[in-house]
Amino acid sequence: MKKPKTFLLVIVLLVISYLLPNGFSENYSQSYQLLDKPDGSTYYGLNVTVQQSLYEYYAEKSHSIGSNSDFAKFVTPYALKPIADCLLEIYTDDEDFVNGVLMIVHQIPYNETPAKYPVETIVKNKGDCDLFSYIAASIVKAHGLDVVLLYYKSQAHMNIGVNLSHAPHDAREQAYYVTYNNIRYYMAEVTGGDWQNGWRVGECPDELKNAPAQVITLENCEQTTYGQVSASYKTLVSSTLSLIISPAFLIQGGTVTLSGQLSPPLQNRTVTIYIKINNSPWIVLDTTTTNQAGYFTYTWNTEDAGICYIRSSWSGNNDYAGADSPIQTVTVLSTFFVLLLVITAILVCIGIIVFIMSRQTQSSIEEPQPPEIPS
């Protein structure tokens, strides 16, 4: 009899582990090589780290494409801004900056892949022309340069165009550009596995020189977000983030207090609170900041009922990699359910009382009478 019970217990545990989100988090890291100039001799190693919370946030967002203008939604400047900030430590000229961006995407292995956001591509470390274009456009736009996506339907290809302050000096041929709204956008080809001698801004593959290009502007790119990758030329030191939730059970409309601490204890650091309700995608609940001891606190007024999974996240900086807290669970009971439970309890109590009273009445009726004593 023990074997069936043991087997059933294993099945139950497997089902529970499948349904519940993973309570442990990890960081994903990639490294990229850079040169100070396309023909330069000074090498830099850029380390990029992505928190699991940020990856899952983008992985669970909508990836649908209804029209070509939807390509722009995959451009996420804020999420990759730390990479742009690092490049600005090397490159003061916008042409050199764009060539540095091309060095990064030229190091990602080519593999035809469904649409993904830049953070996903960095984690998976593979992609194709459109995914590389989204990364390049995100970093360039994070720097504040005017950039567009260039889509070649006849070639089933994509790259980017950048409006530079001057014509490219390092292009090894006559600089190629497209004109849109009287603005010159110099082509920047994102494919190619040779990051040291690959395509430079202004250079154009032969098969694209006569191919019509659709210019896709970035008004529809992601305007705001909360999480960012970590980027530094140094090896990033790990950090930790805790999360305590009280209470763990409450009625819809109640208040939950979220608190935790960042280690190292850094002040005025933004902590992002992610939430998943039942089987919905992860969304950002809100942000808060740490105090001088690295502590943070946040008050959440619950609106939706269900099983809520919550975690906090810090994006890191030039010294420390970002960190996620373990996932905590809060059960929010709906007011309708609680009301139904109360009514059910009252009806059960009434039923019990009626049952007891009826039993007492029946007992008194059935109780035998003492025999009459003859006179």
Residue 271 sits in a domain of what CATH number? 2.60.40.730
Residue predicted with more confidence, 179 or 347? 179
| 132 CB-near residues (< 8 Å, 6+ apart) | 105, 108, 121, 190, 191
Burial of 189 (0-12, 13-18, 19+ CB in 10 A): buried
Residue predicted with more confidence, 161 or 339? 161
pLDDT of residue 371: 62
pLDDT of residue 18: 36
CATH number, domain with residue 67: 3.10.620
pLDDT of residue 360: 72
116 and 160 both lie in a single domain: yes
The confidence band for 352, taking pLDDT boundaries of 50, 70 and 90, is confident
Query: 247 lies in which domain range?
Result: 237-333
| CA 25 – CA 326 distance, rounded (Å) | 7
170 and 273 both lie in a single domain: no
Structure tokens at 169: 């000096």
Identify whether the C-beta of residue 63 lies closer than 8 Å to the C-beta of residue 116. yes
182 and 247 both lie in a single domain: no
65 and 205 both lie in a single domain: yes
**Domain contains 222:** no
**Model confidence pLDDT, tens digit, residues 21-44:** 544 567 899 999 999 999 889 999
Tell me what the pLDDT averaged over the chain comes to: 89
35 and 102 both lie in a single domain: yes
30 and 106 both lie in a single domain: yes
pLDDT of residue 15: 39
pLDDT of residue 4: 53
252 and 200 both lie in a single domain: no
| CA 49 – CA 59 distance, rounded (Å) | 16
Question: Domains in the chain: how many in total?
Answer: 2
| CA 35 – CA 164 distance, rounded (Å) | 20
259 and 303 both lie in a single domain: yes
pLDDT of residue 281: 94
**Model confidence pLDDT, tens digit, residues 115-172:** 999 999 999 999 999 999 999 999 999 999 999 999 999 999 999 999 999 999 999 9
182 and 276 both lie in a single domain: no
